[in-house]
Each structure stands twice: as structure tokens, then as C-alpha cells.
Amino acid sequence: MDQEIVLQMRGISKSFPGVKALDDARLEVRRGEVHVLLGENGAGKSTLMKVLSGVYLKDEGEILYEGKPVEIRNIQDARKLGISIIHQELFMLAERNIAQNIYLGREPLKNPYTRQIDEKKMREDSKALLARLGVELSPDTMVKELSIAQQQMVEVVKALSVETKILIMDEPTSSLTKREIDALFAIVESLCAQGISVIYISHRMEEIFRIGDRVTVMRDGKYVGTVNVKETNMDQLVTMMVGRQISQMYGRPERRAGEVALETKDLTGLRFRNVNIRVRCGEIVGIGGLVGAGRTELVKAIFGYDRIESGKVFVHGREMKRHSPRNSVEAGIGFLPEDRKSEGLIQQQPIKNNILQASMKRYFKRGLVDKKAEKELAERYRGELKIATPDVTRRVSALSGGNQQKVVIAKWLCTENRILIFDEPTRGIDVGAKAEIYALIGRLAGEGYAILVVSSDQMELIGISDRVYVMKDGEVVGELGREEITAENIVSYAVGKEEA
């Protein structure tokens, strides 16, 4: 028996000055299902959800809620219908407790005339809501004491406090560990069992097949199609999203590796020990393993962010005596961190400033900046890397995740450093932009760059790597050659062969 259709959006259009963000967009959601909304950055997903949640007014089209036409003119209209949204960036007051955040702006009152808050009722109601979802937290706990995953759960509870019937979740797992994701998915399943519908936006393709019931794909602001998760596969979804198959995303041509560019010998530091790896010129070497295996700590230590306790790092056969980011840059190493927003870029600075951030001494002597030359260099890399922006003087914060990553890559290309370390190079990036990043990494390897890539995405490691080291509990437990790089082999080493 088919589930009841609770929401229909038909022919939705929305324009901004010079841009048609939505063009005849559609969405149909059934009661109690997880409906995944999929598409590249700029596909219109967020705009469509902002129309549904009352942030934007639609230009054309109709919305049917429980079979009846409705007008959603503002956030209050959406809330009255039972539509709530949890944004990727959480909005919580750190210096207030859980109960105060759940009922922020809607506090129960003892007396409407005196405006005295009924603290006891607020606490008891919050406790009941937390218990309803099996969240083992006290309503008195301060938000600043919570992990990101716990804050996500409180946001879900907050949404339920207004009798939510449709919950929109935008990239809810982007900052969570596997265990935290498992806990969040258990809550999502509990919501659906209660008849609540979840609209789920994610770039992580594997999550779709784990949590989703149906998927609606958008491209360029338009509706592409809706498919049942059990009747589709990753290749079909990628083709719907970007018009090409997943096999075309990766390019792993045969490359002849040159001399060893980067090597560690018995390297020991924070959460890793006795690590021996090597990367040759013209080679892409991956580092796989589970969260907490010590991969990020290893590459940060190699670059000089973290302290090395013992062992050695060699660059083109010469031992690095001092370990610091400055010395690493001077030795020819570039590092692209996992958290590109806070560690790889200065968000409030223009794109051109970010591109030239690591090479000012190279191009501009005596501290004098030639503004014309600065812009010309930035424009050169904007064109070469196809950074989607009309103007390099715009703030880098205005760019999508994929384009921000291209700016970080451009920053290191400016230095002409030939050893590049990528930590989770495509995290938070849509499928189309991933293909561009893979092509760029492959091109650099073809030009003789030595590339070291840390990734939690097995398909990524399999698709681009010439060799893969697998880490477990801070140690390298396996090295896979080109023909040995499979998901089964990576997992086997990552969890321990006796546990696999």
C-alpha cells in the first residue's frame, strides 16, 4: 500500500537579479519517508527548501500540503504547517542550556501579563522531548558543553517542539564521526516511524543508500527525476546529476613515477608511530583507514603543524632538520587541510589575496605589492582552474565548496611547490565539482607533482591512487599496489584482517 502524499510542490520558479534559480521545479514527499534531495551546488536544492520553509517567496507554481493548496509567505506560515529546517550551520546559544535553546523565543509563561517564564514547565517539556527520541541529555546541560553531534540532536528536538510534520535536514553529517552518524540515523528512523517526513540533503552518496527511501534529483534549477533508492544505483544518480557516468569521474592513467620526492622513516608523533611512507614524483599516493587512525595527524606533522616526537622526514633525499609550516613551504611542500574554510583560506579576504597568500615573497619583493600584477596572477589561475566567479576581488566566502578548494589549490600552484598533501580533498563538495578536482589532481601528477591524499572515501582512493597506505591505530598496516587497491583490501587492513 502506497504511503500518503503529504507534500507536493509543482512548477516552482524563483528568480533573482540576473539568475533564474528555480525553473519548473517539483517535489513530492510521502508521510514517514526519508526523501533525499540531490544535486550539485547551484542545482537549486537550497532555494527550493527556502521556498518551502518560508525564507523566499516563490514567483510561480503551487504548493499542496496534505492535499490542499497553501501559501507559504514567511517562516511563521511554514511552522504553522509543521515544516521545520535544520541548517548545516547550527544556530544555538552556547551560554544557554538545552531547554532554553529548545524554547528560544517561545518560552512558556507563568503569567502572560508579567512575562515571567515558567522554567519548570520548560524543563519538563524539554526532558519529555529528549526522552521521546532517546537522547540521553539533561535539559540543564549548557550547549557549550555539547559535541556537534549532540547539538544536531538538540536541533531535531527543537524542531519537534513545534509539532513538526516535515523536517528538512541540510548536510547534517558533515562534521560527525561514524558513531555519531549512526546515532543520528537512529533518530531519523525513529522520526519516520512516528509518521514524520524527512527531506534529506547530502553530498555523501553512500548515505543515500543507507537512509533514503526515494531520491529527487535537480540540475540547473530544474527537476530531473525521482527514483526509489532500492531501484537505483550510484552510477544512475551521478548521470542524472551531472550528465555523465561515475566511471568518467576518475582518471587513473598509467604514469611513470620518478624519484622519491617525500619520505618518512620511523616517524612518530601525536596518534601515530613508526610510519614509513614514500611518494614519488608523478605519483598519487593515498592514505586510507578509519576515523581516528592517525591519518590527519600524520600529514599535519609532516607539514610541520604538529610536533614530531621521533623519526625523520626527507624531501628529495635531504633530511628536514626543522619542522614548521614555513620550513616545509621553503622545502617545496604544500598542504591542503581538511578544514579548508578555517585552515586553508581567509574567508573575509578577496579571492586574489587567498590565491597569493603563500607566494607574496616570491612575486613581490621588499613588501611592495603591485596591485595590477596581483590581479593578473589571480585571473590567470581563475581561468586555468575554472574557478566560478565573475571577479577575483570578491570575498572567497561567497564561493561554493568546490570553488573554494580550487582557490586553495591555486594558492599552492603559485608557489611552484611540487609536493602537495591533500587532506580529504573533496569533503563537502558536490559530485560535479569532485570530478573537476580529480581531473586537476591527475593533471598535476601527470606534470610530475608528488601527490599525497588522505581520504575517507574509498571510491576516491580506488579511483585516483597509484598506491595506497592503510593506517590502523596510528600505524601503517598495509601497502596496496595499483592492482591491489580494492574496497575489500582497504577495509580488511583498516579494521584488522582478523576482524574483517
**DSSP codes, 396-427:** GGGS-HHHHHHHHHHHHHHHT-SEEEEESTTT
Q: How far apart are CA 463 and CA 485, in angstroms?
A: 9
pLDDT at 495: 76
Average pLDDT taken over every residue of the chain: 87
pLDDT at 288: 93
Interhelix angle 431-446/401-415, rounded to 10 degrees, is: 20
pLDDT at 175: 65
pLDDT at 330: 92
Q: Which residues contact 66 (CB under 8 A, 6 or more apart)?
A: 6
Q: Which residues contact 448 (CB under 8 A, 6 or more apart)?
A: 258, 281, 282, 418
Residue of higher predicted confidence among 236 and 56:
56
CATH 3.40.50.300 fits 5-243, yes or no: yes
Nearest to 157 by CA among 134, 177, 141, 173: 134
Element of type H or E holding 157: helix 148-160
pLDDT at 365: 63
Are 41 and 402 spatial neighbours (Cβ–Cβ below 8 Å)?
yes
Q: With bands split at pLDDT 50, 70 and 90, how would you rate the model's confidence at 215?
A: very high
pLDDT score of 41 more than 70: no
Q: Which residues contact 77 (CB under 8 A, 6 or more apart)?
A: 54, 70, 71
pLDDT at 88: 66
What ranges do the domains of the chain cover? 5-243, 260-495
CA triple 52-57-61, angle to 5 deg: 75
pLDDT above 70 coverage of the chain, percent: 93
pLDDT at 179: 75
Q: With bands split at pLDDT 50, 70 and 90, how would you rate the model's confidence at 447?
A: very high
pLDDT at 499: 46
pLDDT score of 431 more than 50: yes
pLDDT score of 479 more than 50: yes
pLDDT score of 256 more than 50: yes
The DSSP result for 84-105, as a single string, is: EEE-SS----TTSBHHHHHTTT
Q: With bands split at pLDDT 50, 70 and 90, how would you rate the model's confidence at 498?
A: very low
Per DSSP, which regions of 202-331 are E strands? 214-219, 222-228, 260-269, 272-275, 278-280, 283-289, 308-315, 318-319
Q: How far apart are CA 410 and CA 300, in angstroms?
A: 20
Are 265 and 276 spatial neighbours (Cβ–Cβ below 8 Å)?
yes
488 backbone φψ class: left, alpha, beta (φ>0; ψ -120 to 50): alpha
pLDDT tens-digit readout, 231-241: 998 878 878 88
pLDDT at 366: 66
pLDDT at 247: 56
CA triple 202-203-207, angle to 5 deg: 65
Q: Which residues contact 274 (CB under 8 A, 6 or more apart)?
A: 266, 267, 268, 311, 475
Nearest to 349 by CA among 412, 300, 428, 404: 404
Q: How far apart are CA 426 and CA 400, in angstroms?
A: 12
pLDDT score of 243 more than 70: no
pLDDT score of 386 more than 90: no
Q: How far apart are CA 226 and CA 36, in angstroms?
A: 10
Rg, the chain, Cα only: 25
Least confident of 6-10, 129-133, 351-355: 129-133
Q: How far apart are CA 375 and CA 260, in angstroms?
A: 35
pLDDT score of 264 more than 90: yes
pLDDT score of 500 more than 50: no
pLDDT tens-digit readout, 101-145: 988 888 888 887 878 888 899 999 999 888 877 788 899 999 999
List the end-to-end C-alpha distance of the chain, in Å, as a whole number.
39
Q: How many helices (H) and strands (E) does the chain have?
A: 17, 23
CATH fourth-level superfamily of 260-495 = P-loop containing nucleotide triphosphate hydrolases (3.40.50.300)
pLDDT at 246: 55
Residue of higher predicted confidence among 280 and 171:
280
Half-sphere exposure of 239 (CA within 13 A, CB side): 8
289: how many CB neighbours lie within 10 A of its CB? 28
Q: With bands split at pLDDT 50, 70 and 90, how would you rate the model's confidence at 416?
A: confident
